[in-house]
């Protein structure tokens, strides 16, 4: 196509053009649902059939007095229905109606949408709006840092027992006070008791423990007893670390839910505040956020001399004795994907990080032919409001070969179970159990005034740009404006398609800015065409040449910006991520409409025998 002479008549029905047209159409249809906004409808049912009827004029006057704009009022003998212009007026209307008509009418409200059925059947959805524009759901989570500390001490106790057994120090007992009691976290400790016969060797044990856990204070109570505890400073430090890790995990989970503009922050000592925008199904969000699943891999106890035996039954009721020391845990999992094996059975493919990979490699090499057990644990609150850990064996497998950092868990009950498990494992496991203590629907942080002002600003901005383009480039300017409008609509369409894209007020400003910058594509092309015309090319040749040589410039500029956008999208969170997404999508659509669509438009509009363009005679 590059050097083909442009003599033959322009063929409008080339496959490229059809492709461009169909993708444009597809994006336009995707953008359509944004035209139909949800409206609030109130319905008044007379309690008593003989109640005097409310007239339309009466209602209209009432609302006018309170400056509430109404979309529609319908009165029939059995029902009065009122549709509001603004969703935000809902509360004041509710108050107003109940103060006037509460005695004689039953008042109900619902949300309606007049979206045509063909859009509904396409499952098309409008863009999700951010917390500032439409509110969302608030969750407050309580993190059981005490439980995490208890678990940590439990592991240390286990290690003490193991060392004592390995070094044949007999008679050592470790007592851990019950973490589930209402006990202050600073009072958690381990009491190690040993008989006189062990005193000679016990120093070795404590040296070992001190080496592995330097943060643990050792206090000798009497000649037969030592108390191990964390100082209050260390406890606070441990709590902070747990909170930090939990926050990170929560951010990961929200990201896995496909929500970009969420707010996640620590609240007080051990709470986490999560605000999620545009959540249609709070229950799903609740399940994923509140889930405290961890995965641990154990070996069977018969194969090992280590202390501590965990007795568990698998799904078939078979009793298994597990070595309570885990081979590795969920925190070593780098990636998890749900998939299917050759028999179409659901499974989860796991990739371990370097530490986990080494552990697995070493373990599986020494244990070929032995059994490995996968245990899935969840925390939940029982009826006495106590945190309880429930563990379940989900997989018992024989190690067939030397495994590396990649392997899979088979025997999943369903595809959905596999997907959910992989999501939880991907998003990171929690060291401390969490519970949702508060759930609330929150309203938009920006009032309707702010939103209207924002939209006004954007219309003015775009208006100036469009007017200028027509003034400066005349007929080509009109083409540029059509391309710009299509760009904006395509961008809206693309954002409606992506479940993760959320629109906020800064996002809208970003959107307009992308459009402002999309002008650049057209300006570059037109200036090129002008240059070619000045060099003495014929109009059509100049157009062809102009589009061609401007394209490489546009490509370079956009790819570089795209690189920045993609990198910031992958690491950023909150507004940065949302903005990066709009930026990247904007680049794609501006290239698409600014180069390809406007090329077609130019070919259609500019006649072949035209002798003058952009004020230059050809």
Contact window for other proteins (CB under 8 A) among 161-169, 222-230, 420-428, 511-519: 511-519
Please provide the DSSP assignment of 193-253 as one string. Answer: E--GGGHHHHHHHHHHHHHH-TTEEEEEEETTEEEEEE-HHHHHHHHHHHHHHHHHHHHHH
**496 or 558, CB closer to other proteins?**
558
d(CA 45, CA 54): 11
**552, 609, 611, 617: which one binds other proteins (CB under 8 A):** 552
The CA-to-CA distance between both ends of the chain, in Å, stands at 23
Least Cβ distance, residue 201 to other proteins (angstroms): 43
d(CA 501, CA 122): 19
Least Cβ distance, residue 562 to other proteins (angstroms): 9
**246 or 490, CB closer to other proteins?**
246
Please provide the DSSP assignment of 387-451 as one string. Answer: EEEEEEEEEEEE--S---SEEEE---S-HHHHHHHHHHHHT---SS-EEEEEEEEE--SS-HHHH
- For 129-193, the three-class secondary structure string (H helix, E strand, C coil) is ECHHHHCEEEEEEEECHHHHHHHHHHHHHHHHHHHHHHCCCCCCEEEECCCCCCCCHHHCEEEEE
d(CA 290, CA 284): 10
**191 or 442, CB closer to other proteins?**
442
Residue 480 buriedness (CB in 10 A; 0-12 / 13-18 / 19+): buried
H and E: helices and strands count for the chain:
16, 25
Least Cβ distance, residue 567 to other proteins (angstroms): 4
Least Cβ distance, residue 578 to other proteins (angstroms): 7
Least Cβ distance, residue 334 to other proteins (angstroms): 16
Contact window for other proteins (CB under 8 A) among 166-174, 191-199, 393-401, 507-515: 507-515
Considering only residues 558-587, where is the footprint of other proteins by CB under 8 A?
Answer: 558-561, 563-565, 567-568, 570-576, 578-580, 583
**359 or 530, CB closer to other proteins?**
530
Q: 459-488 mask for other proteins (x: CB under 8 A)? A: -xxx-xx--xx--x----------------
Considering only residues 517-546, where is the footprint of other proteins by CB under 8 A?
Answer: 517, 519-520, 523-524, 527, 531
Site residue total, other proteins (CB under 8 A): 89
**63, 150, 547, 592: which one binds other proteins (CB under 8 A):** 547
Q: 226-255 mask for other proteins (x: CB under 8 A)? A: ------------------x--xx--x----
**Which residues are CB-neighbours of 168 under 8 A, at least 6 positions away?**
none
Closest CA to 79 of 114, 49, 103, 102: 49
**138, 191, 310, 482: which one binds other proteins (CB under 8 A):** 138
Q: What is the DSSP letter of 594?
A: I
**21 or 448, CB closer to other proteins?**
448
Q: Does 95 bind other proteins (CB under 8 A)?
A: yes
509's enclosing H/E stretch is helix 505-534
**5, 49, 77, 268: which one binds other proteins (CB under 8 A):** 268
| CB-CB contact of 113 with 40 (8 Å) | no
**316 or 570, CB closer to other proteins?**
570
Other CB atoms closer than 10 Å to residue 561's CB: what's the count?
15
| CB-CB contact of 404 with 360 (8 Å) | yes
Contact window for other proteins (CB under 8 A) among 17-25, 65-73, 270-278, 376-384: 270-278
**265, 309, 437, 604: which one binds other proteins (CB under 8 A):** 265
**456, 474, 535, 608: which one binds other proteins (CB under 8 A):** 456
**90 or 402, CB closer to other proteins?**
90
Tokens of 39: 């409206």
| CB-CB contact of 172 with 192 (8 Å) | yes
Considering only residues 71-90, where is the footprint of other proteins by CB under 8 A?
Answer: 88, 90
Contact window for other proteins (CB under 8 A) among 23-31, 182-190, 289-297, 515-523: 515-523
Beta bridge partners of 83: 41, 72
Least Cβ distance, residue 254 to other proteins (angstroms): 12
**Which residues are CB-neighbours of 123 under 8 A, at least 6 positions away?**
none
Q: Does 92 bind other proteins (CB under 8 A)?
A: yes
Least Cβ distance, residue 16 to other proteins (angstroms): 9
d(CA 378, CA 295): 9
Q: What is the DSSP letter of 38?
A: -
Least Cβ distance, residue 11 to other proteins (angstroms): 17
Least Cβ distance, residue 205 to other proteins (angstroms): 36
Q: Does 10 bind other proteins (CB under 8 A)?
A: no
What are the φ and ψ backbone dihedral angles of 380, each rounded to 5 degrees? -150, 165
**271 or 337, CB closer to other proteins?**
271
**33 or 565, CB closer to other proteins?**
565
**115 or 436, CB closer to other proteins?**
436
Q: Does 557 bind other proteins (CB under 8 A)?
A: yes
d(CA 211, CA 205): 10
Q: Does 177 bind other proteins (CB under 8 A)?
A: no
**Which residues are CB-neighbours of 328 under 8 A, at least 6 positions away?**
296, 297, 352, 355, 356, 359, 360, 363
Least Cβ distance, residue 105 to other proteins (angstroms): 20
Q: Does 130 bind other proteins (CB under 8 A)?
A: no
**148 or 505, CB closer to other proteins?**
505
Least Cβ distance, residue 262 to other proteins (angstroms): 9
Least Cβ distance, residue 490 to other proteins (angstroms): 19
Least Cβ distance, residue 218 to other proteins (angstroms): 32
Considering only residues 415-444, where is the footprint of other proteins by CB under 8 A?
Answer: 440-444
């Amino acid at each position: 196509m590059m050097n083909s002479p442009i003599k033959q008549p322009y063929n409008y029905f080339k496959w490229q053009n059809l492709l461009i047209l169909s993708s444009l159409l597809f994006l336009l249809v995707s953008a359509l649902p944004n035209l139909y906004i949800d409206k609030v409808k109130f319905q008044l049912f007379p309690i008593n059939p003989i109640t005097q009827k409310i007239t339309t004029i009466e209602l209209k006057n009432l609302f006018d007095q309170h400056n509430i704009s109404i979309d529609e009022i319908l009165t029939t003998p059995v029902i009065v229905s009122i549709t509001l212009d603004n969703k935000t007026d809902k509360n004041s209307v509710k108050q107003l109606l109940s103060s006037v008509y509460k005695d004689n009418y039953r008042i109900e409200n619902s949300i309606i949408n007049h979206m045509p059925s063909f859009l509904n059947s396409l499952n098309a959805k409008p863009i999700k709006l951010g917390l500032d524009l439409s509110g969302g759901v608030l969750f407050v989570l309580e993190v059981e840092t005490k439980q995490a500390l208890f678990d940590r001490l439990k592991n240390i106790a286990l290690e003490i027992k193991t060392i004592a057994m390995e070094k044949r120090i007999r008679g050592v007992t470790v007592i851990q006070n019950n973490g589930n009691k209402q006990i202050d976290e600073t009072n958690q400790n381990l009491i190690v008791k040993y008989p006189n016969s062990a005193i000679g060797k016990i120093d070795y044990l404590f040296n070992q423990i001190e080496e592995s856990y330097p943060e643990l204070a050792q206090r000798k109570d009497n000649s037969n007893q030592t108390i191990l505890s964390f100082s209050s400073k260390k406890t606070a430090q441990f709590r902070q670390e747990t909170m930090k890790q939990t926050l990170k995990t929560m951010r990961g989970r929200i990201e896995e839910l496909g929500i970009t503009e969420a707010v996640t922050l620590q609240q007080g000592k051990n709470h986490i505040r999560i605000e999620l925008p545009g959540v249609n199904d709070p229950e799903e969000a609740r399940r994923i956020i509140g889930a405290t699943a961890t995965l641990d891999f154990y070996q069977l106890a018969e194969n090992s001399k280590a202390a501590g035996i965990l007795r568990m039954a698998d799904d078939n009721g078979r009793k298994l004795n597990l070595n309570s020391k885990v081979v590795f845990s969920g925190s070593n999992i780098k990636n998890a994907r749900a998939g299917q094996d050759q028999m179409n059975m659901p499974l989860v493919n796991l990739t371990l990080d370097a530490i986990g990979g080494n552990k697995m490699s070493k373990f599986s090499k020494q244990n070929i032919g032995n059994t490995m057990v996968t245990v899935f644990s969840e925390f939940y609150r029982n009826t006495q409001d106590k945190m309880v850990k429930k563990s379940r064996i989900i997989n018992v497998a024989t190690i067939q070969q030397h495994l590396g950092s990649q392997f899979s868990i088979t025997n999943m009950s369903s595809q959905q179970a596999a997907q959910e498990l992989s999501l939880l494992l991907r998003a990171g496991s929690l060291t401390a159990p969490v519970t949702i203590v508060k759930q609330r629907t929150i309203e938009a942080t920006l009032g309707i005034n702010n939103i209207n002002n924002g939209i006004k600003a954007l219309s003015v901005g775009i208006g100036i740009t469009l007017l200028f383009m027509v003034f400066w480039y005349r007929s080509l300017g009109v083409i540029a404006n059509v391309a710009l409008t299509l760009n904006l609509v395509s961008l809206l369409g693309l954002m409606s398609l992506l479940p993760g894209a959320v629109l906020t007020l800064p996002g809208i400003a970003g959107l307009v800015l992308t459009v402002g910058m999309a002008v650049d594509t057209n300006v570059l092309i037109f200036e090129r065409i002008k240059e070619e015309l000045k060099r003495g090319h014929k109009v059509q040749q100049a157009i062809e040449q102009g589009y061609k040589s401007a394209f490489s410039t546009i490509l370079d500029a956009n790819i570089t910006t795209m690189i920045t956008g993609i990198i910031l999208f992958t690491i950023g969170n909150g507004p940065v991520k949302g903005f990066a997404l709009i930026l990247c999508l904007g680049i794609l659509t501006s290239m698409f409409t600014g180069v390809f669509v406007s090329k077609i438009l130019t070919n259609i509009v500019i006649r072949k025998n035209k002798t003058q363009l952009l004020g230059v005679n050809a």
